[in-house]
Amino acid sequence: MPRRSSKKAKAENTELRALKKELLFVKFQLKKQKLTNQLTVQRNEKEIQKLNAIRESILTKHRLEQEWEMNQKEIVRETRQELEYQEFIYNMNIVVQKKYEKEMLKKEQEVTRQLERRNKELKDALDNGISIKPWKQCGRCFEEFGEKGVRVPKVLECGHTLCVGCLKQIAQPYSIECPFDGLVTDLDEKKTIDTLPKNFIVFNM
């Protein structure tokens, strides 16, 4: 029996060794698998990071596109406002221009009427053989100067003489611009059209 037993023991030993070997192999396999898993996890993490970066860049691009679109809309809106404003100014200018042209036309018509009247007077005078003394007439309205009222001749600082009526028509609040040479005679509370010197020479020639 001891032989048998020894044989049995030997067999058991062999089996044990085989088991140990298998165990080692399995352990090794597990280690290998663990390592592989770790590598896979790392790879996956890197992949996820990459995908996140791509997602982030897409989102950023999208946001920039939206911002750009909004900016474009804002530019279009501002441009439209600017155009509307310019059109408004343009229309206003036309209104002002028309008003100005109307006033200029009125003034021109008035001057034309005065010249026509003067022409007629000269023609009448020639026809009647009456000598004309131009200095006895206001050089602006061609009315004959008078000793009283609006036809009184007054001398401006430049030396030109005009009737009170004309001076009142062309006077600004504090100045009169001579219609013959553009020189300005200043006025104030004390110095008015009434206090300007009267031109007596007109009556004495």
Choose which of 145, 154, 166, 187 interacts with Zn ion (CB under 5 A). 166
Per CB under 5 A, the segment of 29-37, 93-101, 102-110, 180-188 that binds Zn ion is 180-188
180 sits near Zn ion (criterion: CB under 5 A): yes
DSSP state of 192: -
- 2-16: buried (b, 16+ CB within 10 Å) or exposed (e) per residue? eeeeeeeeeeeeeee
Residue 130 sits at the vertex; the CA angle it makes with 126 and 131, to the nearest 5 degrees, is 95
Rounded to whole angstroms, the Cα distance separating 97 from 104 reads 10
Minimum Å gap between C-beta 126 and Zn ion is 22
Cα-flanking dihedrals φ and ψ of residue 179, to 5°?
Answer: -70, -10
Choose which of 118, 146, 157, 158 interacts with Zn ion (CB under 5 A). 158
Per CB under 5 A, the segment of 19-27, 73-81, 104-112, 139-147 that binds Zn ion is 139-147
Rounded to whole angstroms, the Cα distance separating 193 from 164 reads 7
Minimum Å gap between C-beta 180 and Zn ion is 4
DSSP string of 78-124?
Answer: HHHHHHHHHHHHHHHHHHHHHHHHHHHHHHHHHHHHHHHHHHHHHHH
Choose which of 160, 169, 177, 184 interacts with Zn ion (CB under 5 A). 160
181 sits near Zn ion (criterion: CB under 5 A): yes
Measured from the CB atom, is 118 or 160 closer to Zn ion? Answer: 160
Measured from the CB atom, is 88 or 174 closer to Zn ion? Answer: 174
198 sits near Zn ion (criterion: CB under 5 A): no
Residues that bind Zn ion (CB under 5 A): 138, 140-141, 158, 160, 163, 166, 178, 180-181
